[in-house]
Structure 1
Amino acid sequence: MDFNYMVTGFLFVYFISLLITGIFAYRSMTNLEEFVLAGRRLKSMPLALTVSSTGMSGWLALGFAGYTYEAGFQSLWILVPSATIGIIICYALIAKKVRRYSERIGALTATELLRKRFYDTGNTLNLAVSLTICIASVAYISGQLLATGKILNLVFGWNFQLAIVAAAVIMITYSVMGGFYAVCWTDFIQGILMIVGSLVTGGLAIVYAGGLGQLSEKAAVVSHSYPDFVITPFASFSVVVMGVSMFIGDGIFNWIGQPTLMSRYMAAQNTRVFGKAAILTITIQLVLFIGVFLAAVYMRTQFPDPALLPYSGDTETVLIQFFFTTSHPVFVGIFIGAIMASIMSTADSLLIMATSVVVNDIYSYYRPRATQQHLVLVSRILILWLGLIAILISLNSGSVLWSSWFGWTALGIVGMPLIIGLYWDKASKEGAIAGITSGFAVLVIWNLWSLTERWNVFQALPACGIALLATWLVSLITSNPPPHVMKDVQELKEHKKFSKEVEVHS
């Protein structure tokens, strides 16, 4: 398509702002805790925006939009729990315990939290978890770079490979310079862009459709001609089965088990910020999901066959095509910037997390005398290498939706034993190892044999479910954790006593 200087100008300003943020954050880095957890000083608004930005990514802008365009209202099974129930459970049952326990035991990462909770003195569990997170993160990041390549290729006609490399260079640069502090504040900027973009997107979809009533009627007409596009989440038994498995697996299990979100909880100023942050996060999630949902449905009513889409038959780019068919170039720049924001926000977060677990949980174990400055240097070098690997994978990837889902589910599996371990003092190291390995094995088998398509059961439900079950069963038949570990978990249940000891950043 024709080169548009307005869109280019906006994106140029946006990327420059990210680099400036990284430079300022670089000047404040003094130790590994600053680099990994931003000094544990995030307040409600930055916390809410970074949680939402991290959880959405190119999966929302391309994957969810494309899925809604193809499957219609079946995507509500993802929208509802991801925007409400999953968030509520995260803040109500997970966030406070993770924040308190991490500072209590001096953990900087979710994997260090796992290692200390499950008394992994031999580093076996820690090594397995760290490598799993690293692999899953790189896979997810590659999906985000793939999304970036699709966007820049569609908008500017750039070479697909060049677009991926350009986006990766920007992301790696500000992550190398500023660490988690830069990531959180770029997430703040990106979150604002995403909210504004989604509000305007949803409004435009309703206006151009002639109102919600007209949009619903037109969607019903499309459904009559294209049965795969359903106008109710209860269209058939198979739709309901798939929907329920998505509701529980992706909307709940994947959210509560995410190590990258646990890093956000650990970076909070104190546990009191979670109440307000929960309300803000739910509001943000609803705005983001509903805006994208309405735009995707509108595009299906206007272009019922993917071959009729105005710029590309790739359904994962339907949201971008919506902008070009409904908006002025100035607003297109803002919207594209919002989408790029959602992609960058998750990719950079996972890049930092993968780096931190390798450096803090593996490298530091074998180099215990390494200085803080040395660890920060190693972290920056590792970011470069992981970014390069992600680029190579993305150049040979397919779907943004399924690449993201695989990585997101693999990360969710890692958190399953920790969820049990924070509530049950008898959860054992052997149980945690069994849970993670069995859950990941199920995930791989589910994808290799395409069982989601065959059985209409989303991969996250069996994978995370098996991880939880294996952790519990193996813990029942193995020795109890050491007394000091059990004592910490028992005291964690006594909120008042525990919080007085750890909330030192009020």
Structure 2
Amino acid sequence: MSTATLITFIVYLLGMLLIGVISYRLTSNLSDYVLGGRRLGPGVAALSAGASDMSSWLLLGLPGAIYASGLSGSWIAVGLAIGAFLNWQFIAKRLRVYTEVSNNSITIPDFLENRFRDSSHLLRVISALVILVFFTFYTSSGMVGGAKLFEASFGLSYSQALWIGAIVIVSYTFLGGFLAVSWTDFIQGILMFIALIVVPIRAISVVGGWDATIDAVGNISPSHLNMVAGVGAIAIISNLAWGLGYFGQPHIITRFMALRSASDVPKARFIGTGWMIVGLYGALFTGLAGLAFISTQDVGMLKELGIAVKDSDAGVQMLADPEKVFIAFSQILFDPVISGVLLAAILSAIMSTIDSQLLVSSSAVAEDFYKAILRKNASEKELVWIGRAAVAVIAVVATLLATNPDSSVLSLVSYAWAGFGGAFGPIIILALFWKGVTRNGALAGIIVGALTVIIWGDFLTADMAPIFGLYEIVPAFLLNLIITVLISLGGKPSPAIEAEFEEAASKY
């Protein structure tokens, strides 16, 4: 890495830390730390939600999947685009209103306990446990992405890169909480947006234009240009089902809760979905252009830049790690300063998700365990510091899980995404749209959804039966929905719960 690239990269990191320090001075209580005092404007909320959603998956995982398998990997992008729009369209406004009506709930477990008047705290505790388990895996995926970036850019070993990346990412989250996370995500979202426009345009131009790129890809692997090549019905359903996950992702839907007003939702929806669609197209084009470009490059030059290559079964020169295609483009095609900005964009994608995940996890520890169970009279300052301590501990555990250099960003994200979508998605939808859902129904649904993801994902394989190759979010979501409805039909919410539902509905 050149000196100019390194300086640009360091300036970016210092800027993120500065935001953390400023936000530290603006954070005085737990509501500020985990929800920013509900003061986010539509632009910040939209880009913060998008950046925390997409993570390193958008700049590493998806381009890598397209590079390796072609457009058959784009079904995930289709499912995500639909799911994100529906989440903004039907969940955002209702959740913003209902969480404020329901005793000003500031976390998802807090909202579920208040919504169902659960004096036993079981809903809160089980929800918080689900968050901690699956966010540890999700955060681990970001640590892997960060390690791959630092490893490829600075010539470090995977282990060194992993721990350096973890320290950088945790620092400003520890200090500034939600305000630091949201404003850094806003800046990072803009940076990611620009990078996903600039890199594929430059790459396609160098290859010789769009037609030349498509011709080159077709000559190397015709199946790369076919969305259904080698993809069965189960795989297509599984990829589209990623969209179901949106309704239960705590780090995304808390952005809805943090909006300054429900009236800001339409503008935020427009910004957020537009950002996402452009970003997804940029990632797809980066993967395709990468296949055409890397196959023609001099091996010696690639090795000098630290880019490992291998020959495919068809004798074509390929990246050893497809998830590094965006990193390779940033190093080869741009001058040192721009390269530094693009590498910062990759780190932005990683940081913007990890910080949100750490924050939601810390709020689960501080608000849903420590305050609710252990010390009901804890001071606001004490809770903020418990939250900060939780950030550090969870980050260490996630980093230890990421120590395998063969870890895949996409596989770790897939597991955690299914966990949240399967456990919380149906419950959030029913809680906002159906007055008749009960506490027992919601509790059973969350447990069934989470356990289905674990059992289906870890113990059942397609070798046993083809149906077990289905992405675990599908059976988890459906079983959760069915169990919650059936158990709720056997009971009846209290008049107070029904009255609060009607109050919230009157404000949508």
8 Å contact from structure 2 (residues 245, 417) kept in 1? yes
Q: Distance in 2 between matches of 1:116 and 1:288?
A: 37
Q: 4+ residue runs of structure 1 moved beyond 6 angstroms?
A: none
Tell me what 2:302 maps to. none
Counterparts in 2 of 1:341-490, with a 5 A limit?
A: 341-366=348-373, 367-396=375-404, 398-416=407-425, 417-449=427-459, 451=461, 454-455=466-467, 456-477=469-490, 479-490=491-502
1:249-264 correspondence runs (5 A):
249-251=241-243, 253-264=244-255
Query: Greater shift after overlay, 344-353 or 282-291?
Result: 282-291
Report the identity percentage: 29
Quick check: 1:492 aligned with 2:489?
A: no
Task: Indicate conservation of the 8 Å contact 1:32/1:372, yes or no.
Answer: yes
* Equivalent residue runs for 1:290-301 within 5 Å: 290-301=281-292
C-alpha distance in 1, partners of 2:294/2:393? 42
The Cα offsets for residues 279-299 of structure 1, whole Å up to 9 and x where unpaired, read as: 111111122111111111111
> Where does residue 304 of structure 2 map in the other structure?
none
User: Take 2:207 and 2:69, find their aligned partners in 1: how far apart are those partners?
Assistant: 19
1:79 maps to which of 77, 80, 88: 77
User: In the TM superposition, what are the counterparts of 1:44-443 in structure 2 within 5 Å?
Assistant: 44-83=42-81, 85-105=82-102, 106-224=104-222, 229-235=223-229, 238-247=231-240, 249-251=241-243, 253-303=244-294, 307-308=310-311, 313-366=320-373, 367-396=375-404, 398-416=407-425, 417-443=427-453
Contact 1:234 1:240 in 2 (8 A): no
1:396-424 CA distance string (max 9 Å, x none) = 37111111111122122232212111111
Are residues 53 and 452 of structure 1, via their aligned partners in 2, closer, same or farther at CA, if it must alter by over 3 Å?
farther
Q: CA deviation at 1:303?
A: 4.2
Partner of 1:503: none
Q: 1:456-496: CA deviations, max 9, x gaps?
A: 5222222222222221122223x2122111222233333xx
Q: Is the 8 A contact 1:74 1:239 kept in 2?
A: no
Counterparts in 2 of 1:462 and 1:71: CA distance versus 1, 3 Å: farther
2:301 paired residue number: none
Instruction: Give the superposition deviation at 1:310.
Output: 7.7
Cα 1:304–1:128 change in 2 (3 A) is farther
TM-score for the superposition, normalised by structure 2: 0.91
**Cα separation, 2, equivalents of 1:286 and 1:89:** 14
Unaligned 5+ segments in structure 1 are 500-506
Taking only aligned residues, the RMSD between alpha carbons, in angstroms, comes to 2.0
2:411, 2:280 → 1: CA distance?
A: 18
**Corresponding residue pairs, total:** 485
Q: Deviations 1:363-389 (Å, cap 9, x if unpaired)?
A: 111211111111111111111111111
CA contact (8 A) 2:56 2:145 kept: yes
Residue 307 of structure 1 aligns to a residue whose secondary structure is strand
Instruction: Quote the residue 2:26 is aligned against.
Output: 28
Contact 2:44–2:183 at 8 Å: present in 1 too?
A: yes
Quick one: distance in 2 between partners of 1:62 and 1:297? 13
Q: Secondary structure at the match of 2:310?
A: helix
Q: Which amino acid aligns with 1:392?
A: L
Instruction: Tell me whether 128-137 or 299-308 shows the greater mean CA deviation.
Output: 299-308
In 2 relative to 1, CA 452–51 (structure 1 residues): closer, same or farther, beyond 3 Å?
A: farther
User: Aligned to 2:92, what secondary structure does the other structure show?
Assistant: helix
Q: TM-score, normalised by structure 1?
A: 0.91
Query: What does residue 299 of structure 2 align with?
Result: none
Distance 2:148 2:318 in 1: 12
For 1:433 and 1:459, locate their aligned partners in 2 and report how far apart those are by CA, in whole Å: 20
**Alpha carbons 1:201, 1:295 under 8 Å: kept:** yes
Are the counterparts in 2 of residues 44 and 276 from structure 1 also a CA contact under 8 Å? yes
8 Å CA contact 1:202, 1:290 repeated in 2: no
SS in 1 for 2:487: helix
